[in-house]
């Protein structure tokens, strides 16, 4: 695979600065791969609230350039600030161009890879994931869980997981997409909430949407318990008592583990539904002193990228690392205990 399969060349202004630091015999592509890795590592730490200081006279040119990209500045404008990457600072759109391009290219690559995967192979791996979950303590302990409802192909199927959780008496919530009731200038056109399934019969009554995903009937939403949305005044649901989560089982396009930090990284489908939901949920959960929310991904083995042979999953500060990942071979990968053991926000 070409070195630039995932990552296009960097912007000209960034490359102009970069060329002043490159070593003899090094290629543009090689430098670009390394700086993307540095950016990915730095943003992962920043997203966890760490203050990363990169001295302007650092002997590591990759860190210097990564700092320049993240700050959207050249060396002279970074120098007065001492090279400190403030975790509370917001990225400007221009600063995110390289990462957005990297994500787009990786999604296209994964779409091709997964399209050739037979349904029988997906079904077999989905069974392995379910078997692993049945004895996995975080799943067994969780009484309020969110489970995505799967597309017919290209990802771990969750039908048996939903049924099993309902049979165990867990409160099972599934995604529901809707227009925000009070949209703000920075809110997306559609947002995601989690709504509770009443029982097995309720789940089996769901009709597939145009993508083949079982979906909640909008006419029933007001009578259901919702994690974020206000229930109908006629509903008898005690939102304070019931509408919280212990565990989210999340889909994704690609996953990997940072070999240095131990972060488990996830590339979503690009709509930001889970990112926005988790951000809103954290505000509610913190106010109500809810227990930490665990984030676990479900992945086919083809969706987990080996760092020895693949490019790293590109992440931005708003991309929440996972606490764990259940794979289609039955294996479970856990984030390093000192990084994302729990998502406390």
Q: Distance between the two ends of the chain, CA-based, in angstroms?
A: 38
What is the average per-residue pLDDT within 79-91?
A: 36
In tens, the pLDDT along 262-309 reads 899 999 998 889 998 998 888 877 766 777 899 999 999 999 998 766
In tens, the pLDDT along 132-189 reads 999 999 999 999 999 999 999 999 999 999 999 999 999 999 999 988 877 777 677 8
Task: Give the per-residue pLDDT at 33.
Answer: 58
In tens, the pLDDT along 205-231 reads 999 999 999 999 999 998 999 998 754
Task: Give the per-residue pLDDT at 8.
Answer: 41
User: ∠175-187-340 over CA atoms, to 5°?
Assistant: 60
Task: Give the per-residue pLDDT at 296.
Answer: 98
Task: Give the per-residue pLDDT at 97.
Answer: 80
Residue 326's DSSP bridge partners are: 298, 332
Nearest to 246 by CA among 168, 157, 147: 147
d(CA 183, CA 337): 38
* Higher-pLDDT residue of 141, 61: 141
Task: Give the per-residue pLDDT at 13.
Answer: 42
- The beta strand positions in the chain, using DSSP E, are 52-53, 84-85, 144-147, 171-178, 191-196, 207-208, 214-215, 247-250, 254-257, 264-267, 294-299, 324-327, 332-334
Task: Give the per-residue pLDDT at 277.
Answer: 92
**Domain boundaries along the sequence of the chain:** 12-89, 109-334
Q: By the 8 A CB rule, do 283 and 226 touch?
A: no
Task: Give the per-residue pLDDT at 24.
Answer: 42
What is the average per-residue pLDDT within 38-57?
A: 51
* Alpha-carbon dihedral 60, 63, 69, 74, rounded to 10 degrees: -40
What are residue 250's phi and psi, to 5 degrees? -110, 145
Task: Give the per-residue pLDDT at 217.
Answer: 94
**Superfamily name and number for 109-334:** NagB/RpiA/CoA transferase-like (3.40.50.10420)
Of 6-20, 77-91, 156-170, 320-334, the one with minimum mean pLDDT is 77-91
Kindly tell me if the per-residue pLDDT of 49 is higher than 80.
no
* Higher-pLDDT residue of 285, 326: 326
The number of beta carbons lying within 10 Å of the beta carbon of residue 263 is 25
Kindly tell me if the per-residue pLDDT of 86 is higher than 80.
no
Q: By the 8 A CB rule, do 144 and 246 touch?
A: yes
Task: Give the per-residue pLDDT at 230.
Answer: 54
């Amino acid at each position: 695979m070409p070195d630039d399969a995932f990552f296009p060349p960097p912007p000209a202004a960034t490359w102009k600065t970069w060329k002043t630091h490159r070593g003899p015999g090094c290629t543009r592509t090689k430098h670009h791969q390394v700086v993307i890795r540095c950016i990915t590592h730095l943003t992962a730490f920043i997203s966890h609230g760490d203050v990363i200081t990169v001295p302007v006279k650092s002997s590591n040119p990759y860190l210097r350039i990564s700092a320049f990209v993240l700050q959207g500045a050249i060396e002279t404008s970074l120098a007065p600030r001492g090279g400190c990457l403030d975790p509370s600072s917001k990225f400007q759109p221009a600063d995110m161009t390289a990462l957005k391009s990297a994500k787009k290219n990786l999604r296209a690559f994964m779409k091709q890879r997964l399209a050739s995967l037979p349904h029988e192979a997906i079904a077999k791996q989905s069974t392995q994931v379910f078997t692993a979950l049945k004895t996995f303590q975080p799943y067994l302990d969780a009484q309020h869980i969110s489970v995505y409802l799967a597309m017919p192909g290209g990802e771990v199927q969750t039908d048996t997981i939903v049924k099993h959780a309902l049979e165990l008496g867990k409160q099972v919530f599934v995604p529901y997409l809707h227009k925000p009731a009070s949209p703000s200038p920075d809110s997306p056109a559609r947002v995601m909430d989690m709504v509770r399934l009443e029982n097995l019969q309720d789940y089996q009554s769901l009709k597939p949407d145009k993508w083949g995903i079982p979906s909640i009937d909008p006419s029933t939403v007001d009578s259901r318990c919702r994690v974020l949305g206000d229930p109908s005044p006629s509903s008898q649901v005690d939102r304070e008592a019931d509408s919280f989560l212990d565990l989210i089982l999340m889909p994704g396009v690609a996953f990997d583990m940072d070999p240095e930090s131990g972060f488990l990284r996830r590339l979503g489908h690009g709509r930001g539904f889970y990112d926005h939901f988790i951000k809103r949920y954290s505000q509610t959960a913190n106010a109500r002193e809810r227990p930490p929310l665990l984030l676990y991904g479900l992945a086919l083995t083809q969706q987990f990228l080996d760092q020895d042979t693949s490019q790293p999953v590109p992440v931005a500060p708003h991309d929440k690392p996972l606490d764990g990942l259940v794979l289609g071979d039955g294996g479970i990968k856990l984030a390093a205990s000192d990084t994302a053991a729990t998502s406390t926000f």
